[in-house]
Structures are given as structure tokens and as C-alpha cells.
Amino acid sequence: MTDNTMVIPREKTGKIRLKLSLMLFLQYMMYAVWWVPLAAYLTNLEVSSLEKSLIVSSMAIGCIFSPVVGMLADRFFAGQKVLAVLNTINAVMLFLAGSTNNHDILFICLLIAMLGYMPSWSLTSSIAMAHLDSEQFPRVRIFGSIGWVASGIFSVVFIRVLNIDFDGTNLPFYCGAAVSFIAILANLSLPDTPPPAKGQKGSLIDTFGLRTIELMKDRNFAVFILFSFLSMIPFAMYFSFFSEFLLHIKTKYISVTMNWGVLAEMGFLLLVTPAIKKFGLRKVMILGLVALFIRYLSFWAGGVIHQSWMFYIGILIHGLIFGFFYVGGQIYIDKKAPAQLKSQAQGFIFLVTFGAGLLVGNFICAHIIDLFRTAEGYNWDAIWGIITLSSALLLLVFIVFFKNNDPTLTNKQKLT
């Protein structure tokens, strides 16, 4: 849903931007409020390693199937109506997830919730871009990041005001459900966004971006896709399991602590374009992997020398990792793919990273954590040591095999 065929009267633009900003604010808040402390809750619930892997992988599974929902919105139904239905599914499932202690039922609830929720990331962007000029989109998209950071307010209110434990409990699910219900009402007030590809034929091959595989005849492109997948293995240790570590070191405000990384991300994302202009895409992506290594080195060193302040280096550097490697990678794909494959290629890299990559990464990381279980909990110094070494190896092999022989990677001039 990227075609902009509607003409919006100038006097209504401000009102529409406000509605779209609220849409993105609520959409990311409803997810962050429960996802960030999820691993800590599962630890307190004493789920097994396999069950934990499955539950935290509900997001990755939702990513894999989200293109199908996008196809429905593109060809059959108005975008704002699809979004309202998705948020209804999410709200009901989150409420049920908060109401059960049964591990199997919890997994089923979160899986269905994510099958409903994950398509909303691309759908909300499509709705916004259908009503705004492309240069205006970042001004409303930033409200998604603000909503993610603001989700930490629930933790503060429950702990400081109500004197009730929040992180590591089932309360975040109820808060996510409540925000979802509010979002449904906001969705129904959005401007009409009819399906732009109504009547056009579609296929699952196009929907999942599988024609992008043709581009992997280019060796450098194939290396990039492979390493994008592999990078999610160490990335998953932070993204999916860091709240479990914060629980281990008795962090009181888990959600707030992790959200510092998202707050810093907003600033780092602004550096991506000037960095590419100065250094070129290859060096920028390498810097992203360097930051990934520094993150886990700081976690390992902070534990070994008992300097907890070093953990914040790894948290605050999150935006540098995401912006330079993953957003930089999206820009690389946009430049490499021919016009007819650009949208499919972006869907394919999302499938490779936050779909298949995160799914595999979650299971591997959960197994590593389980290997270092002790009578007192877990040996996190050993866990961070292994992830640090794997990040270093990933960085070195990427530098060797991702060649600097492509003008797309070395061009430091104006981005088009």
C-alpha cells in the first residue's frame, strides 16, 4: 500500500497528521509494554527452555506471516478497517494471556496475538504514506518510537504510585490489551484508505518477496543476506532475553532501563544518512556490526569486573546497531534491487531478519542460557562471553567476504 492517489486539502493535513501520529504512538506502545519485560515474566513463571523459546518466538512467527495480511489490505479491504480488526485480535489475546498461568495456553494466545499484531508495522506505515508526502512520513513515524519509550510509564506508575510490582508479572499484558482497545477507537477515526491494488492478481511468491532470491546471483548480495540472517543470532540475546538478565541482577525498572536504548535510537537514526554520505554503505554496515560487538563486550566486561554502569553502554548503543546495519542494509537493498523488485526485496529482508533469523536466534540463545544454568540461576558472564566471541567472529568474516568492489557500497555522494 504505497500508492498515494488521494489529494488532501491543505487545511485538513494537520488534523490527519495528528491522527496518524496517534495511530503510530499507540501501535508501538501496545507492543513494547509487554514485550520488553516478557523474558523476565517467563523466568518467574518457571517455563522450560523450549517453551520459553517458543513463546518469545511468537513475534518472529508473526513476522513470517505478516505479508499475507499486507496482501489482503492491498487488494481487498480498506487499510484502517484491517488495522482495527488486527488490533481487536491483539487486544483479546493479550487479555487472555494475562489471565492464564498455563504455558501452552500462553504460547497459543501470544502466537495469535502476534499473527494479528506484526502485520500492523507495515500496515500503519502504508496507511500513513497513503495520506502524506514521503518527506513528511518520518515526522509521524517518530511517534512510534516515542510510544515505545513512553510504555515505560506503566512500570513507573505501578511501582512508584500504586506500589505494585509490574515488570516480571502478568500486568503488562493487561496494559497492552487496554492500549489496543484505545487504538481500535482511534483506528476507526482514521481517514479512509482504500486498497490501492484492488482487482489485481497476487501470488504468495510475490507476497513473501521470494523473487528477490534471483538477486543472490550477485555474490556480495548473497553474503549480505546470509549475514543479515546470522546477525540475528547474537542480536536475539538482547532483543528477546535481556529482561531476563536484568531480572537476574535485580533491576527494579526493567522496562524503563531497556527503553533508554530506544530513546537513544531516535538520535542514532538521524546519523545514518550523513554517515553513508561520508563513509559509504559498506563501512556504515561494518560499524553497525562493530557496535554489536561492543554491546556484548560491555555486558561481559561489566559482569567480570563488577561495573554495572558498563551495561548501559550496551543498552544505549542499540540504535547504532539497528540504524547502521539494519537500516543501512535496507538502503543497500533499495539501491541493488530493480524497480519492480524494490518492495518485494524489503519484505524479503524483513522475513530473513525479524522472521526466520530471530526465530532461529531465539532457540539458539535460549539453549545457550540453559547450558549455563546454575543452582543460583545462570552464569551470565559465560553467556555474554560466548555471544561476544560470536559477534567478533561475525564481524571479521563479514569484513572479509563482503567485498568493497561495488559502487553502491563505496559511493559517498548524495543518496537517491
pLDDT digit string, tens, across residues 331-361: 888 788 787 677 677 778 888 898 899 999 9
Confidence of residue 69 (pLDDT cuts 50, 70, 90): confident
Taking 50 as the threshold, does the pLDDT of residue 1 lie above it?
no
CA angle 197, 63, 65 (to 5 degrees): 60
Looking at residue 415, what is its pLDDT? 45
Confidence of residue 134 (pLDDT cuts 50, 70, 90): low
70 versus 167: which is more confidently predicted? 167
Looking at residue 358, what is its pLDDT? 93
Looking at residue 277, what is its pLDDT? 86
Confidence of residue 187 (pLDDT cuts 50, 70, 90): very high
Percentage of residues in the chain with pLDDT exceeding 70? 90
pTM of the entire predicted model: 0.82
Rounded mean pLDDT of 390-414?
Answer: 80
Rounded mean pLDDT of 92-111?
Answer: 96
Confidence of residue 399 (pLDDT cuts 50, 70, 90): very high
Taking 80 as the threshold, does the pLDDT of residue 289 lie above it?
yes
Domains, the chain, in order of start with CATH, read: 8-202 (1.20.1250.20), 206-416 (1.20.1250.20)
SS (H, E, C) the chain: CCCCCCCCCHHHHHHHHHHHHHHHHHHHHHHHHHHCCHHHHHHHCCCCHHHHHHHHCHHHHHHHHHHHHHHHHHHCCCHHHHHHHHHHHHHHHHHHHHCCCCHHHHHHHHHHHHHHHCHHHHHHHHHHHHHCCHHHHHHHHHHHHHHHHHCHHHHHHHHHHCCCCCCCCCHHHHHHHHHHHHHHHHHCCCCCCCCCCCCCCCCHHHHCCHHHHHHHHCHHHHHHHHHHHHHHHHHHHHHCCHHHHHHHCCCCCHHHHHHHHHHHHHHHHCCHHHHHHHHCHHHHHHHHHHHHHHHHHHHHHHHHCCCHHHHHHHHHCHHHHHHHHHHHHHHHHHHHCCHHHHHHHHHHHHHHHHHHHHHHHHHHHHHHHHHCEECCEECHHHHHHHHHHHHHHHHHHHHHHCCCCCHHHHCCCCCC
